[in-house]
Amino acid sequence: MSPAESASTILRTAASICVIVHHRPDGDAIGSAVALQRALSKHSQVEIISSSTVPSVFTSILGPIETRPLLPTTADVYVIVDCAELHRTGFSKQIERLRKNKKTLIVIDHHNSGDLERLATTHISNRSAAATSELVFSLLTEMRIPITPDIATPLLLGVYTDTGGFHHQTTSAATLKTASQLVRLGGELNKISQGFCRELSRAKQRLWGRILSEISINKFGIVVAQVKSSHLKEAESTVDDIAGLANLLALTLEAKVALVLVETENGWRGILRSRHPAINLGRLARLLGGSGHKKAAGFLATNDVFSGKIKRS
């Protein structure tokens, strides 16, 4: 039995399901989770569990998204989407305990394999997929669940955001075929693209103006932008306003890699982007205790990273 077949059998018979997204969920994690919730809630009680809040741009496109910050122990089945490593869920101990108690754990993901591969009872993975949402689409199709417009839109949101609006190298013929199918099924592409365009407040413009005026390019061809807490305060911005900055920076003509460093309570959060074909940012981020893809990755630089003792984010 293939992983998708076994997952579909498990999900069909589960009375209660928890869908867990990774810490600071992106459009692919949210899109996958919302699509699963909408598709499966006819027969099961489905909750989305997130250790962080959902960025407002996703609710403006998809409507209200209810998430719980705590992981219940009583669900029949647990599903982790768009995540390869346990620590990125924000629920490491709880999930390990659930597995000790023989709870079923399905992982659906398109990243390079991490420790969740070992922990999962069923692991649906395809590294060549541009988004986890593509894998969720295949799974729901396998389950013969009709893809209504309210399911097609979150799946399309996942594909759209993980390919940078179909800009990244990962956008293959298969990706465009999936997107085309989702639009045909009622996925609201225009609402999604407009949702990201409209998000330009004065506070965000003030912040970006300040940050961009201070960027520097080092000898390795890395363009670096630093976002200090004081910058956010001065521009009356929030961390949500940083979204998209690294993609813009990656367009810098003279640079191969863009790095946005964001000051946090635990150290500097690094956001890496590149459009250079030969560069593998995922590998670089993993060296720094982070994770990601070839063209988009991230890490948390604590003092331990600089002293050679890496601490995971």
Distance CA 132, CA 104 (A): 20
Contact 298, 292 (CB under 8 A): yes
Q: Between 162 and 241, whose beta carbon lies closer to Mn ion?
A: 162
Taking the CB of residue 157, how many other CB atoms lie within 10 A of it?
31
Tell me which residue has its CB nearest to Mn ion.
28
Instruction: Give the distance, in angstroms, between the CA of residue 85 and the centroid of all CA atoms in the same chain.
Output: 13
Which stretch, 6-14, 76-84, 254-262, 284-292, contacts Mn ion (CB under 5 A)? 76-84
Q: In angstroms, give the least distance from the CB of 42 to Mn ion.
A: 26
Decide: residue 144, CB within 10 A, 0-12 exposed, 13-18 middle, 19+ buried: exposed
Q: In angstroms, give the least distance from the CB of 28 to Mn ion.
A: 3
Which stretch, 23-31, 39-47, 91-99, 262-270, contacts Mn ion (CB under 5 A)? 23-31
- 82 is a contact residue toward Mn ion (CB under 5 A): yes
Query: What is the total count of residues that contact Mn ion (CB under 5 A)?
Result: 4
Beta-strand runs (E) in the chain? 16-20, 45-49, 67-68, 77-81, 104-109, 122-125, 216-217, 222-227, 257-264, 267-274, 291-292, 296-301
Stretch 191-230 residues interacting with Mn ion (CB under 5 A)? none
| Maximal CA-CA distance, the chain | 57
Distance CA 180, CA 177 (A): 5
- 109 is a contact residue toward Mn ion (CB under 5 A): no
Question: Dihedral angle at the C-alpha atoms of 207, 213, 217, 222, nearest 10 degrees?
Answer: 20
Stretch 253-312 residues interacting with Mn ion (CB under 5 A)? none
- 134 is a contact residue toward Mn ion (CB under 5 A): no
Q: In angstroms, give the least distance from the CB of 282 to Mn ion.
A: 12
Which stretch, 130-138, 147-155, 184-192, 271-279, contacts Mn ion (CB under 5 A)? 130-138
Distance CA 155, CA 178 (A): 9
Q: What is the β-pairing status of strands 257-264 and 222-227?
A: parallel
Q: Between 47 and 162, whose beta carbon lies closer to Mn ion?
A: 162
Taking the CB of residue 234, how many other CB atoms lie within 10 A of it?
12
Q: What element of type H or E holds 298?
A: strand 296-301
Q: In angstroms, give the least distance from the CB of 82 to Mn ion.
A: 4
Smallest CA-to-CA distance from 18 within 110, 82, 81 is with 81
Instruction: Give the distance, in angstroms, between the CA of residue 235 and the centroid of all CA atoms in the same chain.
Output: 27
Q: Between 132 and 175, whose beta carbon lies closer to Mn ion?
A: 132
Q: Between 195 and 267, whose beta carbon lies closer to Mn ion?
A: 195
Q: In angstroms, give the least distance from the CB of 162 to Mn ion.
A: 4
Which token pair is 237? 């911005």
Q: Between 44 and 163, whose beta carbon lies closer to Mn ion?
A: 163
Stretch 150-169 residues interacting with Mn ion (CB under 5 A)? 162
Q: Between 134 and 305, whose beta carbon lies closer to Mn ion?
A: 134
Q: Between 67 and 252, whose beta carbon lies closer to Mn ion?
A: 67
Of the candidate residues 3, 4, 25, 28, the single one contacting Mn ion (CB under 5 A): 28
Q: Where along the sequence are the contacts to Mn ion (CB under 5 A)?
A: 28, 82, 132, 162
